[in-house]
Structure 1
Amino acid sequence: MKTPLLIAAIFFTGLTFAQEKKSDTAKTKNIKEVVLTKQVFKKQSDRFVYDVAASPVTKGNTTFDLLKQTPLLSTTDDKNLKIAGKNNALIYINGRKTNMDVESLTQFLKNTPAENIQKIEVITVPGSEFQVESSDGIINIVLKKKMSDGTNGNMRMSNSQNKFNSSQASFSVNYRKDKLGISGNLSGGENIQAQSYILRNGTDLVKNESVGDIDDPNKNIGGYLNFDYQLNEKSNLALSWNSWANKSYGSSVELLNTLNIYKADGSLDKTDLTRSSNLENARNYNNSVNLNYELKTDSLGSKLNINAAYLIYKRFQNSDNRTLVQRPSGSFDQLRQNVIQEIPQIVNNFSSTVDYIQKFKNDLTVSVGGNFNATQTDNDTKNFFNFYDTSGNLESTRPDLNHFIYDEKIYGAYLTFEKKFSDKLSGKVGARYEITKSLGTSEIPDQPMQEFERNYNNLLPYLSLNYAINDKNNISYAFSSRMRRPSFWELNPVKNILTQDNYTQNNPFVKASSTYNQELTYMFKNSYFLILNHSYFKDIITQVPLQRDIERDGTTYRQLAYIRTNFGDKQEMSAMLGMQKTFFNQYLTTNFNIGVQHNINKGTLNTDPTTGQVFDTYINNRESSSIVIQTNNTIRLDKKKTWFLGVNYFYVDQQQIELGMLKNLMSLDISIKKNWNDWTFALNLEDVLRTNIVEIEDSQANGTYNYIRNDQFNRGGTLSITYNFGNQKVKKVRDIEGASDAIKSRTR
């Protein structure tokens, strides 16, 4: 498969330079096209800017669809966005970080029309003024600004068909009158997230296999309400409220488990069949309110920004996990084990930030600020294990109760200097200092209370330089140091049961990890770019697959546990070559990326730090090199710009990750769109070739192996209708970065 992909890459590159040469020859006849191309995609001092206001890909699309077609951005699971194929992406809107968990944010972006977006900024290495974790990059969505009073809005409805049918709808409205602006959004939908699994693990003597399906029904509803009032010419006051709710009742897991035990000579000794039948009900709520005050202190753009915010996140989850054995009749209806779980989580957070930007006439900008976050999480987990004898009678019951409370306070301050030395050279230097004080307490009946204390003091430097060699060539360099604190759910020492011998274990002992990023970027004619990147991760927070033999009823079984912990160090080195350009008098708009990535993993583990249980040693001291290809193309089919065809494709080569070797992924997506007055009709077909299926495989020197195949049924189609109404010149409500935004991402 790699050979035709490389041929395609060479073809696209050849077409690009041939078209570029042709346009240079006739530039006096096509000045308008050349100017537009230069404005669409460009590199600023610390970010890439994609101006989509006049792009044909915007109208009728959702915000998520538009992000997937933005240069440097990609997704392999239609949920998590990646920057340059590797860095996690945090979503900002007008400089304000969104505050939803991954599932809620994905649904929100898929229900939000993209017509009102002016540009998309991609910040691959964020500066010291941003509160981000690890190697996370930032996607800042900048909305159009309208200048007159009035009301406008849009409505969107869509229906999708994958394995199951789903529907979504959204309504947005903006109102402005004199000094007052109000904006609101309400969106929601229903879907069933379907997955199928093949899980294999074991040794030459003991082999497990679990095969089956997971069906997770979801109902979502949420939105936002923003008020912005201009107190005078220099100051504004804003209040925003965001809410999202999810209900997932009747989520089911049905797996057939096969245990094969072999003799020393390799012949089959015994086969044991069981069925895992799990039923789960869950619901969560995410509500936040933010008050913002902004004061402009001079005519150069200096300003003071103050935020205070409160967040409450609640998740309630209960499950009934059953292991069933086969009767002589062949039916699986006799209990071997039954686990009843209650796993609630409540997060309360108060946050505040103060930022001041001082601009000077000599092109110097000084930014200084600080933040304070106080968070408490309450996790009162209740598990009850019921064990049954060979006749199906209840033999014993074992409770597993743990009330885990986690308190955390973060104090942060930053200082940055940004200077434009000349029309060609500019730079930015800064540092963030953070103090983290945290205490976790675990209360287990009839045991002494345990305390887990974690305190960090971190100095995180940042540096960037940008040099415009001439009007066609630009080069920039950035360095950043960051830390990644564990998410709140990762610290809760809860065990999630999948099968009788397969579970995940979280860990209150997880400590923060550190990341060091370097990036060198070259840009040519605001259309072509080369990005070289190196990232070093220390004490990575991840899941580690550990296995061991256990005895039960005189039989040796193979237990597999995914343990959440710090697992060694990792390096990532990558080179990406790309372009964003229009051809043939704007009949074809395309962006194309091709890159090479090299991963170096170093980690060893054999003990669960939460329970002290010893497993077979798991070693991941491996390297891998892989290629990544992505191309997004929009073809205008008529002169009136009403019909458009979209053809998008990505390919990710196999690469070594913490769990093993992730095999290659690819997807071909096709769309057709019709614009008619204020209406847009679109049909999107995703993963047409049904090749976007996750497979991970690992084998150890000690004979242990592990295999995962996860099919999320990505192939499907979506039919959508969008209608824009009202005065399209309404000025958008000022959108402010909330004080608690950095905390909210850790509720994921």
Structure 2
Amino acid sequence: MKRIILSLVLLSGTLALAQEKKSDTTKTKSIEGVTITKQVFKKQSDRFVYDVAASPVAKGNTTFDLLKQTPLLSSTDDKTLKIAGKNNAVIYINGRKTNMDAESLAQFLKNTPAENIQKIEVITVPGSEYQVESSDGIINIILKKKMSDGLSGNMRFSNTQNKYNASQASFSANYRKDKLGISANLSGGESIFAQTYTLKNGNDRAFNVSTGEIDNPNKNIGGYLNIDYQLTDNSNLALSWNTWANKGYNSTADLFNTITDESVTTYSWSKNKKNTRSYNNSVNLNYELKTDSLGSKLNVNAAYLNYRKFQFIDNQNYISNVNGEIGKRTSQVFQDLPQLINNFSGMVDYIQKFKNDLTISVGGNYNKTKTDNDTKNDTYIFGSKPSFTSAPNHFIYDENIYGFYATAEKKFSDKFSGKIGARYEITNSLGTSDNAPTVELQRIKRNYNNFLPYASFNYAINDKNNISYSFSSRMMRPTFWQINPVKSILTSNNYTQNNPFVKASSMYNQELTYMYKNSYFLILNHTYFKDVITQVPLQGYPVSPDGTTKTVNELRYISTNFGNKQEMSAMVGIQKSLFKQYWTTNFNIGFQHNINNGSLGVDPTTGDRFKNENGDFVEYINNRKSTSLLIQTNNTIRLDKNKTWFLGVNFFYIDKQQVDLGLIKSLASLDLSIKKNWNDWTFALNLNDVLKTNIVEIEDYQSNGNYNYIHQNSHPRSIAVSLTYNFGNQKVKKVRDIEGASDAIKSRTK
């Protein structure tokens, strides 16, 4: 860096001396020659490219902070990253998916200096070669290549205060010597995730209101170890291991219930205690062989993933009065809900590049997964007629996925390029249950194939105008927990129900993009979802297939496929540095139009239908439309000439819009930060959700008279302080990050 600065100083002096000897015309040309050497933000054939090395935002930032300043990217919770118009963002490094779980990945990004990054690529519509789910987008981080051997690392400490206090610390180190590279990280923290919760459901004649507090303590520790060794000039071998452990003991949910049926009102308490612990370990072995000087290469991956989660819930219900005084216990439910997942994955890719700017890619992958859920459910009823029922269920799920893809990318001229491809997937699965409530649930076998085409085209009209189009099709498979036929109890007559009959959904996406001067852009997007996977609220008096009717009004949130939906959006944005780079801003504004079309009247796990007070069968219907305004702006203001003080001002606003569960009200958040860089130290203070506007409210009114309302306050307003120290040679060459063969499976362990 010092050499670069010195070179720029010498260049400036040379230009100044030349100005005394040349005409004004010559001076103008010299200055222009220096000014236009870098394009900070531009559109390529299938991706947006943000040249970090040419941007003033990178200095003194972490990678996570830098990503939040990248056009089209945002973070509403300072933990996850989202691409505008996408459900999720998958992180790649140097073209390879990061082999980390979400928690360790966030820490890795928050403890990696942004000075090591050359550019960031945002792929809104991934090609056939990428293993991503549904409408996920990709963030590809390209690291600088010219880095010397040595040791570097950093230590980070942070403390956050909202309703409770949370602390976290991490240590990371990178070492490279000749052909060997080692990267390691260890981080841990302690926090309490708190919610103030309100649920209302029913109709004018019978309804239920539940309000209370939910506190979920968490202690976690984890890290990663990556080893990379250059076998020859053209081949590399890499081994990566990721581990993460979480402990959430003494989690509580205390809800006060007001139940009205006709003119009779009763009161009760639901008190839940939950102990949870989980372990995630994965290992990946990668071999890469470069086959020619043009960049053709072979990649082979083998991976193993082991995920274990143990959860014990004690749900107790008590009689109460209008004043909330606790009376006699009416029922108690013990649930033991373990989840064991083992996955083996293999992946082979070959990329062949030709001299005529043609690139052909072919590859395949295999995933074998087995889940084991030996659950127990014991119910005690107290009172004049006490009773006990036990409902154990051992559910085993075996799944095999075979995937094959081929793509062809061609640069026809300096102005026009295109890429086409397709992916073919074969899925075979078998789910068995030894104590399912119905015969249909005892053995569920599925075999299905999917053909997923892809195409993208890019045309540079001239130096200032660029237009591109992309089409993609993807699958979204249910998580492994969603297909385990168990229920999680919230109150005595309100619970969530998993569903092994859930099938994979399909997504078709089209996107048209126009860019002007590499600073201003317009994005038009249309996405069609078929067989959407979601939770559907069914409520009323359950009627079993044999005609038995319960006398208690129930609310069940059932995981299932719920019709189809469309999302259409139009967004304009700007990425620009102003006032001699003292102010760098990303600003997006647009509209999103949602069309929902789904209905459900039968519980797919039991066959139950639901009646209202009049004895009529009812169903949940969502065929509504909504149009919403979306605004997002991220700003970094440099406060001094030495580039050591920075002020951050970030804001987002999402207008109310129709979602699967109803109408979600508007969300907004104003976040402020101040940062000081001092040699190898960075001090930061962050204020999140200053206006306390990031609170979730969902309401839904059905034509049959039923309504459902959810209010969830996760206390996002917080203040956080952090201290980061960087040590060693910061130009250490990073370990080659490898796309794990099991990465497509990891997201389904949630």
TM-score by length of structure 2 reads 0.91
- Would you say the 8 A contact 1:503–1:562 is kept in 2? yes
Q: Is the counterpart of residue 474 in structure 1 residue 466 in structure 2? A: yes
Structure 1 equivalent of residue 422 of structure 2 = 431
Q: Deviations over 1:369-406 (max 9, x none)?
A: 0111111011111111111126xxx7111112111111
What amino acid is aligned across from residue 252 of structure 2 in structure 1? Answer: S
Structure 2 equivalent of residue 629 of structure 1 = 631
Q: Distance in 2 between matches of 1:710 and 1:110?
A: 28
- Would you say the 8 A contact 1:511–1:566 is kept in 2? yes
Q: Distance in 2 between matches of 1:498 and 1:107?
A: 32
Q: Deviations over 1:675-712 (max 9, x none)?
A: 00111100010000000000101000010001111111
Q: Distance in 2 between matches of 1:559 and 1:512?
A: 28
What amino acid is aligned across from residue 560 of structure 1 in structure 2? Answer: L
- Would you say the 8 A contact 1:652–1:665 is kept in 2? yes
Consecutive unaligned residues in structure 1, runs of 5 or more = 1-25, 263-268
Q: Distance in 2 between matches of 1:32 and 1:726?
A: 36
Structure 2 equivalent of residue 605 of structure 1 = 600
CA 118–568 in structure 1, closer or farther in 2 if over 3 Å, else same? same
Q: Return the offset for 1:60.
A: 5.2
Q: Return the offset for 1:260.
A: 2.2
Structure 2 equivalent of residue 288 of structure 1 = 282
Superposed, 1:76-95 pairs within 5 Å as 76-95=76-95
Q: Deviations over 1:576-602 (max 9, x none)?
A: 100111000000000000011101000
Q: Return the offset for 1:127.
A: 0.2
User: Pick from 540, 551, 554: which aligns with 1:559?
Assistant: 554
- Would you say the 8 A contact 1:588–1:636 is kept in 2? yes
Q: Return the offset for 1:730.
A: 1.0
Q: Return the offset for 1:450.
A: 1.2
What amino acid is aligned across from residue 186 of structure 1 in structure 2? Answer: L
Consecutive unaligned residues in structure 2, runs of 5 or more = 1-26, 544-548, 611-617
Q: Distance in 1 between matches of 2:689 and 2:40?
A: 28
User: Pick from 388, 409, 425: which aligns with 1:397?
Assistant: 388
CA 57–401 in structure 1, closer or farther in 2 if over 3 Å, else same? farther
User: Pick from 705, 708, 726: which aligns with 1:706?
Assistant: 708
What amino acid is aligned across from residue 621 of structure 1 in structure 2? Answer: N
What amino acid is aligned across from residue 404 of structure 1 in structure 2? Answer: F
- Would you say the 8 A contact 1:305–1:356 is kept in 2? yes
Q: Distance in 2 between matches of 1:270 and 1:210?
A: 17
- Would you say the 8 A contact 1:76–1:665 is kept in 2? no
What amino acid is aligned across from residue 469 of structure 1 in structure 2? Answer: I
Q: Distance in 2 between matches of 1:33 and 1:715?
A: 45
- Would you say the 8 A contact 1:211–1:257 is kept in 2? yes
Superposed, 1:568-607 pairs within 5 Å as 568-607=563-602
Q: Deviations over 1:647-696 (max 9, x none)?
A: 11000011000000011000000000000011110001000000000010
Superposed, 1:137-152 pairs within 5 Å as 137-152=137-152
Name whichever of 338-347 and 113-122 sits farther off: 113-122
CA 573–329 in structure 1, closer or farther in 2 if over 3 Å, else same? closer
Q: Is the counterpart of residue 461 in structure 1 residue 462 in structure 2? A: no
Structure 2 equivalent of residue 683 of structure 1 = 685
Q: Deviations over 1:148-198 (max 9, x none)?
A: 111011111111111111111111111111111111111111111111111
SS where residue 39 of structure 2 aligns? helix
Superposed, 1:360-439 pairs within 5 Å as 360-389=354-383, 395-439=386-430
Q: Distance in 2 between matches of 1:160 and 1:221?
A: 17
- Would you say the 8 A contact 1:430–1:463 is kept in 2? yes
CA 522–330 in structure 1, closer or farther in 2 if over 3 Å, else same? closer
Superposed, 1:611-622 pairs within 5 Å as 611-615=606-610, 616-622=618-624
Q: Distance in 1 between matches of 2:714 and 2:30?
A: 50
Q: Distance in 2 between matches of 1:159 and 1:336?
A: 42
Q: Return the offset for 1:83.
A: 1.7
Structure 2 equivalent of residue 358 of structure 1 = 352
User: Pick from 331, 339, 342: which aligns with 1:337?
Assistant: 331
What amino acid is aligned across from residue 722 of structure 2 in structure 1? Answer: S
User: Pick from 536, 548, 564: which aligns with 2:540?
Assistant: 548
- Would you say the 8 A contact 2:529–2:564 is kept in 1? yes
Q: Deviations over 1:346-370 (max 9, x none)?
A: 1100001100000000000000001
Structure 1 equivalent of residue 9 of structure 2 = none
What percentage of aligned pairs have identical amino acids? 71
Q: Distance in 1 between matches of 2:560 and 2:102?
A: 21
- Would you say the 8 A contact 2:269–2:326 is kept in 1? yes
Q: Deviations over 1:34-87 (max 9, x none)?
A: 537x53222111111223346454455554443333211234444443321443
Q: Distance in 1 between matches of 2:732 and 2:371?
A: 41
SS where residue 607 of structure 1 aligns? coil
TM-score by length of structure 1 reads 0.92
- Would you say the 8 A contact 1:327–1:334 is kept in 2? no
Q: Return the offset for 1:614.
A: 1.0
Superposed, 1:104-119 pairs within 5 Å as 105-106=105-106, 109-110=109-110, 114-119=114-119
Structure 2 equivalent of residue 15 of structure 1 = none
SS where residue 619 of structure 2 aligns? strand
- Would you say the 8 A contact 1:636–1:643 is kept in 2? yes
Q: Distance in 2 between matches of 1:511 and 1:104?
A: 30
- Would you say the 8 A contact 1:185–1:223 is kept in 2? yes
- Would you say the 8 A contact 1:33–1:585 is kept in 2? no
- Would you say the 8 A contact 2:278–2:307 is kept in 1? yes
CA 45–206 in structure 1, closer or farther in 2 if over 3 Å, else same? same
Q: Is the counterpart of residue 730 in structure 1 residue 732 in structure 2? A: yes
Q: Distance in 2 between matches of 1:636 and 1:534?
A: 38
Q: Return the offset for 1:423.
A: 0.5
- Would you say the 8 A contact 2:268–2:321 is kept in 1? no
CA 600–705 in structure 1, closer or farther in 2 if over 3 Å, else same? same
What amino acid is aligned across from residue 422 of structure 1 in structure 2? Answer: S
- Would you say the 8 A contact 1:428–1:463 is kept in 2? yes
Q: Return the offset for 1:99.
A: 4.7
What amino acid is aligned across from residue 587 of structure 1 in structure 2? Answer: Y
Q: Is the counterpart of residue 743 in structure 1 residue 738 in structure 2? A: no
Q: Deviations over 1:230-281 (max 9, x none)?
A: 111110111111111111111110111111233xxxxxx2221111110101
CA 415–340 in structure 1, closer or farther in 2 if over 3 Å, else same? same
Q: Deviations over 1:294-348 (max 9, x none)?
A: 0000000000000001110111111101111127996315211111111110110
Q: Distance in 2 between matches of 1:60 and 1:276?
A: 49
Q: Is the counterpart of residue 524 in structure 1 residue 516 in structure 2? A: yes
SS where residue 609 of structure 1 aligns? coil
SS where residue 745 of structure 1 aligns? helix
What amino acid is aligned across from residue 373 of structure 1 in structure 2? Answer: N
CA 144–717 in structure 1, closer or farther in 2 if over 3 Å, else same? farther
Question: What RMSD in Å do the two structures reach over aligned CA positions?
Answer: 2.2
Q: Distance in 2 between matches of 1:246 and 1:722?
A: 24
CA 218–602 in structure 1, closer or farther in 2 if over 3 Å, else same? same
Q: Is the counterpart of residue 509 in structure 1 residue 510 in structure 2? A: no
CA 48–569 in structure 1, closer or farther in 2 if over 3 Å, else same? same
Q: Distance in 2 between matches of 1:655 and 1:492?
A: 31
- Would you say the 8 A contact 2:116–2:731 is kept in 1? no
CA 538–550 in structure 1, closer or farther in 2 if over 3 Å, else same? closer
Q: Distance in 2 between matches of 1:46 and 1:40?
A: 17
What amino acid is aligned across from residue 68 of structure 2 in structure 1? Answer: K
Q: Is the counterpart of residue 452 in structure 1 residue 454 in structure 2? A: no
What amino acid is aligned across from residue 172 of structure 1 in structure 2? Answer: S
Q: Distance in 2 between matches of 1:159 and 1:28?
A: 51
